[in-house]
């Protein structure tokens, strides 16, 4: 049985990656073929999280016994993989053909091809055994939102912080205006003692607090997954041994209790999207930051954060069998390999650019960006290729997100690179997916967006109790 899908060559072929086969085109062709074959059979996928939230997707697949029924397996698994890293969840409900449920259960198992996802979602994030259930349609739980009207609170004396891999940014914010900001160098990833992280964050908060008469609330952002202010997974704490991780898990609860003020910490991608939503005065905003990896965040149409993971670095956008493999998850064709400096480094040799040895990643990116700014045609091809990836990637994201605005940012988009990415992404969207392109705007942050920065958005997260 053929378990791969029919892959469609893109109309806009990236000059540095002619094997690219966009998920958006393959899925569209699959749906059209199912419709032409009589409408197919229903398939429902749902994911349940610890907070009671449920993400759900309904689609149709080829009937059992159809010559192309084997494609159902690949199609369903790639949809589920995207949903896992969009919504998050520890329990998967599948209503439809049992063969699909059996296939997914075999892949998402302790020794299966998706063992990384199995352990990550179950053991690391939701602290529940990862489970796949085959059931009747009426047994699939309905979609359930756990969105929270978090953020946009600008009253009072607030502290906002953003925890990066090389610096810790902190601001004192008074009634929505940052009156003090400081970047503090630190090295969190190498530290094995959680006290190091606690002390640096507390010292930064004390520094910002010294600039105001009082502290009413504290808000923070950091890469990683945070549930109810608890650290589930974060690269900042990768050096901490497992036997001491509970100290990390409750780090921000400890800080909240010591300051005795409301405190909220969320993923930095969500804070980026919130900053964009605040500057635009609108909702349904997806923020995509292209840095060392792909960071993403989403604010829904009502202007609320959703509680979803939005870890699109692990969500597939390229279905070619030989797509670049992510070294952490082991999966191929996922966002981290297309919307980050990893992509720049991957494409540089194909563009005729040899990056010198012995440089840090930041220096390597700067080296290629200097080539771009000087007019190197191969460097221009790198950023044009990323733009084409983004156009097809956004068409795929639009199948999962309600979008009105997409903001692209991050150090890969600095200089003329951002304009090249934007120009090529828009061309792909309007030529290949005009009905999708008409639904949302893609843009780089303007000056107003930059003024409503990460620190102000982070500081706005908690509500001050009356």
**Across residues 103-108, what is the average pLDDT?**
98
Average pLDDT over residues 134-145: 96
Closest CA to 314 of 341, 343, 335: 335
The Cα-based distances of 285 to 261, 298, 300, 367 in angstroms read 29, 6, 7, 32
Under 8 Å between Cβ of 11 and 26: no
Topology annotation, domain 285-439: Nucleotidyltransferase; domain 5 (3.30.420)
- Percentage of the chain surpassing pLDDT 70? 97
Give domain 157-271+454-459's CATH architecture: 2-Layer Sandwich (3.30)
Would you state the pLDDT for residue 451?
45
At 98, the pLDDT band (50, 70, 90 cuts) reads very high
Query: Domain extents for the chain?
Result: 37-139, 157-271+454-459, 285-439
User: What pLDDT is recorded for position 452?
Assistant: 46
Tens of pLDDT, residue by residue over 79-90, are 999 999 999 999
On average, the pLDDT of the chain sits at 93
- Amino acid 235: pLDDT: 82
Task: Give the mean model confidence (pLDDT) for residues 375-393.
Answer: 98
pLDDT band at 234 (very low <50, low <70, confident <90, very high): confident
Percent of the chain predicted with pLDDT > 90: 79
Q: What tens digit of pLDDT does each residue of 215-229 get?
A: 999 999 988 899 889
Is 167 a residue whose pLDDT tops 70?
yes
Burial of 185 per CB tally in 10 Å (0-12, 13-18, 19+): exposed
Would you say the CATH fold of 285-439 matches that of 157-271+454-459?
yes
Band of pLDDT at residue 164, cut at 50, 70 and 90: confident
Per-residue model confidence (pLDDT) at position 341? 93
Per-residue pLDDT tens for 399-458? 999 999 999 988 899 899 999 999 999 999 999 999 999 999 999 986 445 444 677 889
Per-residue pLDDT, 157: 97
Judged by average pLDDT, the poorest of 31-35, 55-59, 244-248, 402-406 is 244-248
First-to-last alpha carbon distance for the chain, in angstroms, is 63
**Nearest CA-CA partner of 61 in 91, 89, 92, 38:** 38
pLDDT greater than 90 at residue 268? no
pLDDT category of residue 3 using cuts at 50, 70 and 90: low
Average pLDDT over residues 191-211: 96
Question: What string of H, E and C letters represents the secondary structure of the chain?
Answer: CCCCCCCCCCCCCCCCCCCCCEHHHHHHHHHHHHHHCCCCEEEEEEEECCCCCEEEEEEEECCCCCCCCCHHHHHHHHHHHHHHHHCCCCEEEEECCHHHHHHHHHHCCCCCCCHHHHHHHHHHHHCCCCEEEECCHHHCCCCECCCECCCCCCCCEEEEEEECCCEEEEEEEECCEEEEEEEEECCHHHCCCHHHHHHHHHHHHHHHHCCCCCCCEEEEEECCEEECCEEEECHHHCCCCHHHHHHHHCHHHHHHHHHCCCEEEEEHHHHHHHHHHHHHCCCCEEEEEECCCEEEEEECCCCCECCCCCCHHHCECECCCCCCECCCCCCECEHHHCCCHHHHHHHCHHHCCCCCCCCCHHHHHHHHHHHHHCCCHHHHHHHHHHHHHHHHHHHHHCCCCCCCEEEEECHHHCCHHHHHHHHHHHHHHHHHCHHHHCCCEEECCCHHHHHCCHHHHHHCCCCCCC
pLDDT score at 466: 62
Q: What is the pLDDT of residues 299-332, one digit of tens each?
A: 999 999 998 999 999 999 999 999 999 988 999 9
Whole-structure pTM value: 0.91
Query: pLDDT for 394-414, tens place per residue?
Result: 999 999 999 999 999 888 998
Q: Which pLDDT does position 427 carry in this prediction?
A: 98
């Amino acid at each position: 049985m053929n378990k791969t899908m029919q892959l469609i060559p893109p109309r806009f072929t990236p000059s540095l990656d002619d094997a690219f086969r966009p998920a958006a085109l393959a899925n569209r062709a699959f749906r059209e073929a199912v419709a032409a074959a009589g409408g197919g059979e229903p398939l429902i996928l749902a994911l349940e999280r610890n907070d009671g939230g449920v993400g759900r997707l309904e689609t149709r697949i080829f009937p059992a016994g159809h010559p192309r029924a084997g494609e159902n397996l690949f199609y369903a698994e790639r949809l589920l993989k995207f949903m896992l890293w969009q919504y998050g969840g520890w329990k998967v409900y599948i209503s439809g053909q049992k063969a699909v449920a059996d296939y997914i259960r075999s892949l998402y198992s302790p020794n299966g091809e998706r063992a990384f996802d199995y352990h990550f979602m179950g053991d690391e994030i939701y602290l529940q055994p990862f489970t796949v259930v085959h059931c009747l349609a009426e047994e699939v739980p309905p979609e359930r939102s756990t969105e929270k009207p978090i953020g946009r609170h600008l009253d009072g004396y607030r502290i906002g912080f953003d925890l990066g891999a090389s610096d810790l940014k902190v601001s004192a914010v008074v009634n929505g205006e940052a009156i003090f900001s400081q970047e503090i160098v630190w090295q969190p990833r190498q530290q094995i003692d959680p006290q190091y992280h606690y002390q640096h964050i507390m010292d930064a908060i004390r520094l910002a607090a010294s600039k105001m008469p009082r502290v009413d609330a504290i808000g923070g952002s950091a890469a990683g997954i945070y549930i109810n202010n608890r650290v589930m997974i974060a690269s900042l704490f990768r050096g901490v041994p497992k036997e001491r991780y509970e100290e990390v898990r409750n780090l921000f609860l400890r800080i909240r209790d010591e300051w005795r003020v409301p405190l909220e910490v969320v993923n930095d991608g969500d804070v980026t999207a919130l900053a964009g939503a605040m500057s635009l005065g609108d909702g349904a905003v997806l923020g995509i930051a292209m840095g060392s990896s792909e960071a993403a965040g989403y604010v829904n149409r009502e202007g609320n954060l959703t509680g979803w993971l939005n870890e699109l670095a692990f969500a597939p956008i390229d279905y070619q069998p030989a797509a670049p493999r992510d070294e952490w998850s082991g999966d191929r064709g996922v966002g981290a390999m297309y919307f980050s400096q990893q992509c720049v480094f991957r494409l540089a040799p194909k563009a005729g650019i040899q990056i010198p040895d012995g440089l840090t990643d930041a220096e390597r990116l700067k080296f290629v960006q200097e080539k771009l700014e000087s007019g190197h045609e191969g460097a221009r091809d790198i950023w044009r290729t990323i733009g084409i990836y983004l156009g097809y990637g956004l068409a795929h994201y639009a199948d999962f997100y309600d979008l009105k605005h997409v903001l692209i940012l991050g150090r890969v988009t600095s200089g003329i690179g951002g304009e090249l990415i934007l120009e090529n992404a828009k061309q792909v969207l309007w030529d290949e997916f005009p009905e999708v392109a008409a639904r949302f705007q893609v843009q780089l942050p303007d000056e107003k967006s930059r003024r409503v920065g990460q620190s102000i958005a982070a500081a706005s997260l908690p509500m001050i109790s009356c």
